[in-house]
Amino acid sequence: MSLIEKAAEKLRKSESLVERAAEKLEKSHTIKSEDADLGPDLGPDLEMEKRSSPILKTHQSEPLKKTSKHSATVELNYDVLHQNNILIDDHIENSVTAEEFRIIKRSLLLNAFSKGDSAIKNGNILLVTSTQPDEGKTFCAVSLALSMAAERDLTVLLVDADVAKPDVMNTLGVKGNKGLIDVIENKDMDLSECLLRTNIPNLTILPAGKKHKLTTELLASERMGDIIDEIARRYHDRIIIIDSPPVLASSAASVLALHVGQILYVVEAERTREEELNDALKMIENCKNINFLLNKTRFTAGKKKFGSYYGYGYN
């Protein structure tokens, strides 16, 4: 075979290799075009892994749901409020009870927003509690919240922290779902998902949430402290009113007292015993700004001037 014939044969073999490479390349492009929705070429191994990934298949067939961070809105039931002797709107102005709560709130607001040497840490966070159940603490917490919400330059967050016996929502005549315990337990949950805005512009509610066997431990957790601190810092013009369990009925009250700047302590007239009161005060003594409200007092018309409130501090 001549040199020319050998060169021609070598060239034919070379063309065959090129044709096979071209054919292979064409098939590769066809496969990639069919799987174009899987993203860029990551190399043979990564491309195959990506096509077989169950996470990617789920992403293709079921778009991710966006979580709403907006607070829901509820309408307070005025009929229920009136049944529970909660005074609102046009019934407030000439009411003796309403005037008493005006006097009560003024002292608390002064403490909440004091400056300089008289400033109180977390002074805008107020705990409402009592010695035993059924002394009227929830009535006082709701009434105080509504009275404060009437202020023009103030917003109020009413928190139901009495998880064992949550009564704020029933008193207001509204329903809620997620709440305080849910947001403490679930670190991925945003607080705003549990807040309920009301038809009273300056009032927002945080329900108690689901019942939990470790309520006290959750309330004593670092996350609870972070939530309270965040609320206090973020809303400098906001009052946070926490309806707490009674002190002698639940250890949660003494835990909550660690996070607040002020306590409004409800004492039922002719019922709360002095020795019980002294025992309860020892359990919440970490808070040095305790004010007492004497509830369910008897009086003769014309001889009483808003005497149900005693605004001295406890040390």
**Using one digit for the tens of pLDDT, what is the confidence trace for 204-242?**
999 998 878 787 788 888 888 888 877 777 766 789 999
In tens, the pLDDT along 138-173 reads 999 999 999 999 998 889 999 999 988 899 999 999
Residue 217: inside a domain: yes
Indicate whether 214 and 242 sit together in one domain: yes
Report yes or no on 140 lying in a domain.
Answer: yes
Q: What is the 3-state secondary structure (H, E, C) of the chain?
A: CCHHHHHHHHHHHHHHHHHHHHHHHHHHHHHHHHCHHHCCCCCHHHHHHHHHCHHHHHHHHCCCCCCCCCCEEECCCHHHHHHCCCCCHHHCCCCHHHHHHHHHHHHHHHHHCCCHHHCCCCCCEEEEEECCCCCCHHHHHHHHHHHHHCCCCCEEEEEECCCCCCCHHHHHCCCCCCCHHHHHHCCCCCHHHCCEEECCCCEEEECCCCCCCCHHHHHCCHHHHHHHHHHHHHCCCEEEEEECCCCCCCCHHHHHCCCCCEEEEEEECCCCCHHHHHHHHHHCCCCCCEEEEEECCCCCCCCCCCCCEECCCCC
Token pair 């009136």: residue: 82
More confident residue, 304 or 83: 83
Residues 252 and 120 in one domain: yes
Q: Does 230 lie in the same domain as 89? A: yes
Decide if 250 is inside a domain: yes
* Same domain flag for 206 and 301: yes
Task: Answer whether residue 1 shows pLDDT above 80.
Answer: no
Looking at residue 300, what is its pLDDT? 54
What confidence tens digit (pLDDT) does each residue in 252-278 have? 899 899 889 999 999 999 899 999 999
Range in 10-19, 120-129, 171-180 the model is least confident about: 10-19
Confidence category of residue 133, pLDDT binned at 50, 70, 90 = very high
Residues making up the chain, counted from first to last: 315
Q: How many domains does the chain have?
A: 2
Answer yes or no: is pLDDT of 70 > 70. no
Q: Given pLDDT bands bounded at 50, 70 and 90, which one contains residue 192?
A: confident
Query: Mean pLDDT of all residues in the chain?
Result: 77
Identify whether the C-beta of residue 224 lies closer than 8 Å to the C-beta of residue 254: no
CATH number at residue 240: 3.40.50.300
Instruction: Answer with the one of 37, 61, 85 that is the final residue of a domain.
Output: 61
Co-location of 145 and 24 in the same domain = no
Per-residue pLDDT band for 19 (boundaries 50, 70, 90) equals low
Task: Specify if 54 maps to a domain.
Answer: yes
Q: What does the alpha-carbon distance between residue 47 and residue 49 come to, in Å, rounded to a whole number?
A: 5
Residues 211 and 292 reside in one and the same domain: yes
- Considering the domain architecture, whether residues 20 and 118 belong to the same structural domain is answered as no
Answer with the one of 17, 39, 61 that is the final residue of a domain.
61
Averaged pLDDT for residues 63-77: 63
| pLDDT of 65 above 50 | no
- Tell me whether residue 66 is in a domain: no
- Lowest mean pLDDT across 23-37, 258-272, 278-292: 23-37
Burial class (CB in 10 A: 0-12, 13-18, 19+), 40: exposed
**Is the same domain home to 137 and 238?**
yes
How many Å apart are CA 259 and CA 226, to the nearest integer?
A: 10
Q: What is the pLDDT of residue 124?
A: 92
User: Is residue 31 pLDDT above 70, yes or no?
Assistant: no
Same-domain status, 154 and 115: yes
* Whether residue 50 is found in the same domain as residue 87: no
Q: Are residues 268 and 301 in the same domain?
A: yes
Q: Phi and psi dihedrals of 294, rounded to 5?
A: -85, 115
- Please report the sign of the dihedral spanned by the C-alpha atoms of residue 151, residue 170, residue 195, residue 222: positive
User: CB neighbours of 211 closer than 8 A, spacing ≥ 6?
Assistant: 163, 164, 181
Query: Per the domain annotation, does 67 fall within a domain?
Result: no
Whether residue 264 is contained in a domain is answered as yes
- What pLDDT is attached to residue 232? 73
Whether 315 maps to a domain, the answer reads no
pLDDT higher than 90, residue 87:
no
What is the mean pLDDT of the segment spanning 177-199? 89
Of 20, 41, 61, which residue is a domain's last? Answer: 61
pLDDT at 47: 41
Q: Residue 242: which domain range? A: 72-310
Lowest-confidence region among 3-12, 31-40, 63-72, 86-95: 31-40
Residues 134 and 35 reside in one and the same domain: no
Residue 106 has pLDDT above 50, yes or no: yes
For residues 117-145, give the mean pLDDT. Answer: 93
**pTM, to two decimals:** 0.72
Q: What is the pLDDT of residues 298-313, one digit of tens each?
A: 765 555 544 444 333 3
User: Measured on CA atoms in the order 225, 229, 235, 240, is the torsion positive or negative?
Assistant: positive
